[in-house]
Amino acid sequence: MLDSISHDPTTPTVAKGYQGAAEPSVLPAASPAPSEEADAALEGRLPIPDHPSEGLRVHLKSSLKTPPPERSGPIARFALKTLKTAATLLILVLAVLAALVIWDFYVTAPWTRDGTVRVQVASIAPQVSGQITEVRVVDNQYVHKGDVLYVIDPFDFQVVLDTDKTQLRQKAADVQVKRMQAERRQHLSNLATTPEEQQLYVGNAIEAQAAFDAAQQQVAQADINLKRTQVRSPVNGYVTNLLMRVGDYAHAGATNISVIDADSYWIDGYFEETKMAHVCVGDRAEAALMGYSDPIVGRVETVTRGISVSNAAPSTQGLPNVDPVYTWVRLAQRVPVRIRITDVPVGVPLVSGMTATVTIHGSEARESDGSLRQRFAGLVDRLGDIIHGPQPSPGCVPRIGDENGATVTLATPKPVAPLNPAAIDPGLAPAMNTSPRMR
């Protein structure tokens, strides 16, 4: 049936299609690697065959004639094995060093991202009460020490001062008259006066002098109260969060304006207790503010000697409230370290409350500013701490208490002994029983 189909002149297309479909099934079996033969033919090693089967036979013959490769000697194998071992050991050592450095950097190295810019704020309150009649500053204005911030109505205080000055003149005249009377009685005979009368006039003169002294103090108080109606800045700094306005009533002792002391900026770094062994007073510190590349340079000034302990707070019936903790997980406490600012880069503003990344450099940074030497010394110290554990520097933080460990007691103030009136006015009492002529 196949022959009839292939030789049928009426179906030439079908026969040709069948033959074309059968030829691809024979070619792959006869030539398994035509690409290799083509490459060899291009290189000149094999002639280009006319049929795929003939190329396969030529390729097999050429492969049988090729001599086998020579085997490598024992020295080469040993060198290759040694090289592999050395490379493995080197990678292992580098991995261990990287792990130690990372451990030291994140666990024991003295740095923290928990830093804050701090500043002193002068909370200003008036010393007298009254209505505010004038405000001479605006919010965020820079003021100098002694500048007037606002003014309280001075009328009432001016009246009090004038009244006290009038009373002072009255007391001055009274003391002058009574002094002359007492002095005149001291030179009279027994016929014109008596010791009792002399003592009475001397006492009146002393009383007048005391009243005059009290009047002087009242005038001084009235004068200072009048000056206090002009509230002045006690520091150089910036007026912040100004909310007052003209017409407000200022109460004595109640804060109504705040001035940031521009000369008191410092940085607090809150270091974990596991890193405190590397923090010493005098160490060089760098604080990088968020958003600025140049760090602020300073020195460790003090280390806080106490933080709040929640377990020490009394609870019900005065009993301690102890929080339960996991014995295998303990969070390191944070210790505040105060850093005195010595250098601020140009263009970096100091704003209280800004966060900073604080890094403390070791004792080498205190002695030398060489960066290469400093980094090498720091690396040696870090590796030594990893091997032997953190070693605190002697004398880096002042001790608490005296050298002998004795308890320090404060001196108890003694009460003032009562005064003797004769010690205040020694010239009055001895003349009581003395004749005027005998004086």
Instruction: Tell me the per-residue pLDDT of 349-400, one tens digit each, with 9 for 90 and over.
Output: 999 999 999 999 865 444 444 456 665 666 666 666 666 666 666 667 766 5
Q: Other C-beta atoms within 10 Å of 165: how many? A: 14
Confidence (pLDDT) at 17: 41
Going by their DSSP bridges, the two strands 111-118 and 355-360 should be labelled as: antiparallel
Distance of alpha carbon 6 from alpha carbon 189, whole angstroms:
181
- Chain segment 5-41, per-residue pLDDT in tens: 444 444 444 334 434 444 444 344 444 444 454 454 4
**Position 273, amino acid:** E
Confidence (pLDDT) at 216: 94
Distance of alpha carbon 231 from alpha carbon 130, whole angstroms:
12
Confidence (pLDDT) at 13: 44
CA distances in angstroms from 118 to 268, 284, 418, listed in the order given: 7, 18, 49
Q: How many CA within 13 A on the CB side of residue 20?
A: 6
The ranges of the chain with pLDDT < 50 are 1-35, 37-38, 40-46, 48, 364-370, 402
For the domain made up of 109-119+265-309+330-388, give the CATH fold: Elongation Factor Tu (Ef-tu); domain 3 (2.40.30)
Distance of alpha carbon 96 from alpha carbon 98, whole angstroms:
5
- Segments of the chain assigned to CATH 2.40.50.100: 125-255
Nearest partner of 183 among 421, 434, 427, 423, judged by Cα: 427
In degrees, to the nearest 5, what angle opens at C-alpha 398 toward C-alphas 392 and 404?
105
Confidence (pLDDT) at 11: 43
- Segments of the chain assigned to CATH 2.40.30.170: 109-119+265-309+330-388
- Euclidean distance between the first and final Cα of the chain, in Å? 177
Dihedrals phi, psi of 431, to nearest 5 degrees? -90, 10
Q: What is the DSSP letter of 274?
A: G
Distance of alpha carbon 238 from alpha carbon 262, whole angstroms:
7
Distance of alpha carbon 267 from alpha carbon 346, whole angstroms:
18
CA distances in angstroms from 152 to 99, 125, 204, 245, 427, listed in the order given: 67, 12, 41, 12, 48
CA 59 vs. chain centroid, Å, equals 81
Confidence (pLDDT) at 378: 61
For the domain made up of 125-255, give the CATH fold: OB fold (Dihydrolipoamide Acetyltransferase, E2P) (2.40.50)
Strands of the sheet with 121-124, listed across from one edge: 121-124, 257-261, 237-240, 142-143
**Position 356, amino acid:** A
Whether the predicted model's global pTM rises above the 0.75 cut: no
